[in-house]
């Protein structure tokens, strides 16, 4: 790995977690290492003194009233991993799995869980040797299942990918020069517990959502220019009447993208544009403000302990505290909010696509086709965008309200934080696809209606970036390929707007 190592002594943040998910290695700092070791001493003291402690010397869930004698406590750890590894469906992508592992390392490193340092080092070794456990995407109402599949690989079970090759857990560890762990008391429970799944996946969703709204500014500028919008929509004084950092940021970005456009100077601007053009600052800015709130929630989650039970006190007076911190209800609500607000980016983009291709309002050739009648151009691409908007409306339904009852009425409230994160990621992928369609359509419209010399320097650079990958469309290849290439450009990140 060439990325700089993330030193874990204090809690991760959204940005550092995302860096780990994307390949940065991790180093456990001495302060964190000392906290983990001290917490393990407390677990040993709890066992030695027979202090009642959930999941250490009792069963879990509805089996909380079943005592587990010391000779069976290590077996309990292993069997918890085995029984809870019940995910279903296709495996998560590598970055998603790495994000979950990073969040769990962060959780254990707070020093309230009681695992050995060797367990934390084992998780870090998976990251640093790029051993990616095979984790089915579905089958979780909030936590447990995803981390159980990761823990399987730590003990030499399950499956993992190494350099793209699927191996057994034992073979994957051996390929990386690692040995399976034999879990001790509480370690199985700590490995599967907490909220690392939703926290890690939520951090990735947030990063992708922020990237999408940044791309949406650039793409909207292309569309705004070709449709001859009124720049008064981005007037800083007018926008400042609504107190919103996001609106101010969006207005400044749009102004920068469109600065120097002689095409806009030459077109007779309408007194008031349709809302899909005029409300870009209010919509994109509102999304930005909401995402800032979600970022605060995820950073707070990373700074929090979400294991159950936690261990406290001293080796002379140890105690285990049972609570419900693994129930990340606030995080679930925040991730539902993230999905809803990001869906608005796609909604507005689809409306702009329609204005580009609709000859009733665009002033451009019907559907941007080169020979209308023989050629359909971007006609059906707009259908695809509308379909994705509809799908996002369904995906934006709040997972946190799904409810449900598990574990023999012991767990009779479910916040569904991991499903909230997973559907947010699916929704954002749809928004990226919608923006990719608009990007390709807006570039096509520029070819037709905006001479190169009349473009703003920013939009000219963006148009050239698109044309380096996507050729003008003449119904000469499947439109799917054009749309997919546009989405790829959005996901990869578009050129930044020049600073003024």
Instruction: Assess whether 143 carries a catalytic annotation.
Output: no
pLDDT value of position 139: 87
pLDDT value of position 499: 59
pLDDT value of position 38: 98
Q: How far apart are CA 283 and CA 220, in angstroms?
A: 12
The residues of the chain scoring below 50 in pLDDT are 1
pLDDT value of position 270: 84
Q: Quote the strand ranges of 200-304, DSSP E.
A: none
Residue 336's alpha-carbon distances to 32, 37, 447, in angstroms, are 32, 37, 39
User: Global pTM?
Assistant: 0.96
Q: How far apart are CA 100 and CA 199, in angstroms?
A: 7
Helical axes 196-226 vs 145-154, angle rounded to 10°: 110
DSSP string, 470-495: -PPP-S-S-HHHHHHHHHHHHHH-PP
pLDDT value of position 500: 53
Q: Give me the catalytic one of 54, 143, 383, 413.
A: 54
Q: Quote the strand ranges of 123-280, DSSP E.
A: 131-133, 136-138, 159-162, 165-168
pLDDT tens sequence across 109-159: 999 999 999 999 999 999 999 999 999 999 888 778 999 999 999 999 999
Q: How far apart are CA 495 and CA 481, in angstroms?
A: 22
pLDDT value of position 65: 78
- What are the φ/ψ torsions at residue 289 (nearest 5 degrees)? -60, -40
DSSP tally for the chain: helices H, then strands E: 20, 9
pLDDT tens sequence across 76-85: 999 999 999 9
Taking the alpha carbons at both ends of the chain, their separation in whole angstroms is 36
Closest C-alpha among 286, 117, 82 to residue 192:
82
Q: What domains are there in the chain, each with its CATH number?
A: 6-193 (1.10.275.10), 202-492 (1.20.200.10)
Mean pLDDT of the chain, nearest integer = 94
H helix intervals, 358-398: 359-362, 379-395
pLDDT value of position 353: 98
pLDDT tens sequence across 58-67: 888 777 878 8
What residues does 161 pair with on adjacent strands?
A: 132, 166
């Amino acid at each position: 790995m060439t990325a700089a190592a993330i030193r874990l002594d204090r809690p991760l943040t959204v940005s550092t977690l995302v860096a780990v998910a994307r390949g940065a290695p991790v180093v456990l700092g001495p302060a964190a290492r000392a906290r983990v070791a001290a917490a393990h001493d407390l677990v040993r003291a709890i066992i030695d003194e027979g202090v009642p402690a959930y999941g250490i010397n009792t069963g879990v869930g509805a089996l909380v009233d079943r005592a587990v004698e010391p000779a069976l406590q290590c077996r309990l750890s292993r069997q918890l991993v085995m029984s809870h590894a019940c995910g279903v469906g296709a495996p998560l992508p590598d970055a998603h799995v790495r994000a979950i592992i990073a969040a769990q390392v962060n959780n254990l490193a707070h020093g309230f869980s009681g695992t050995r340092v060797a367990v934390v080092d084992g998780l870090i070794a998976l990251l640093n040797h790029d051993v990616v456990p095979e984790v089915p995407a579905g089958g979780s109402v909030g936590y447990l299942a995803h981390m159980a599949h990761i823990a399987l690989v730590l003990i030499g079970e399950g499956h993992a990918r190494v350099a793209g090759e699927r191996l057994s857990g034992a073979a994957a560890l051996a390929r990386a020069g690692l040995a399976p762990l034999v879990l001790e008391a509480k370690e199985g429970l700590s490995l599967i517990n907490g909220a690392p799944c939703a926290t890690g996946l939520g951090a990735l969703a947030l990063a992708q959502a922020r990237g999408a709204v940044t791309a949406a500014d650039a793409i909207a500028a292309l569309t705004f220019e070709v449709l001859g919008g009124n720049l008064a929509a981005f007037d800083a004084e007018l926008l400042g009447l609504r107190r919103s950092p996001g609106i101010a940021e969006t207005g400044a970005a749009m102004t920068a993208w469109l600065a120097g456009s002689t095409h806009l100077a030459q077109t007779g601007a309408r007194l008031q544009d349709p809302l899909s053009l005029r409300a870009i600052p209010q919509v994109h800015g509102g999304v930005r403000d909401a995402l800032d709130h979600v970022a605060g929630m995820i950073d707070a989650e990373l700074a929090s302990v979400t294991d159950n039970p936690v261990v406290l006190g001293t080796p002379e007076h140890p105690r285990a505290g049972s609570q419900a911190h693994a129930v990340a209800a606030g995080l679930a609500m925040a991730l539902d909010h993230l999905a809803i607000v990001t869906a608005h980016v796609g909604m507005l983009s689809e409306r702009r696509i329609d204005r580009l291709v609709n000859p009733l309002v665009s002033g451009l050739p019907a559907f941007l086709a080169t020979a209308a009648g023989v050629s359909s151009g971007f006609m059906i691409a707009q259908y695809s965008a509308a379909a994705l908007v509809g799908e996002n409306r369904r995906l934006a339904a709040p997972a946190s309200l799904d409810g449900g009852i598990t574990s023999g009425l012991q767990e009779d409230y479910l916040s569904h934080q991991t499903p909230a994160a997973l559907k947010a990621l699916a929704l954002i992928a749809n928004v990226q696809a919608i923006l990719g369609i608009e990007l390709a359509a807006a570039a096509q419209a520029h070819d037709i209606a905006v001479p190169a010399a009349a473009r703003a320097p920013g939009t000219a650079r963006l148009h050239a970036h698109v044309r380096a990958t996507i050729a003008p469309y003449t119904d000469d290849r499947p439109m799917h390929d054009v749309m997919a290439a546009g989405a790829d450009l959005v996901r990869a990140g578009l050129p930044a707007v020049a600073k003024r």
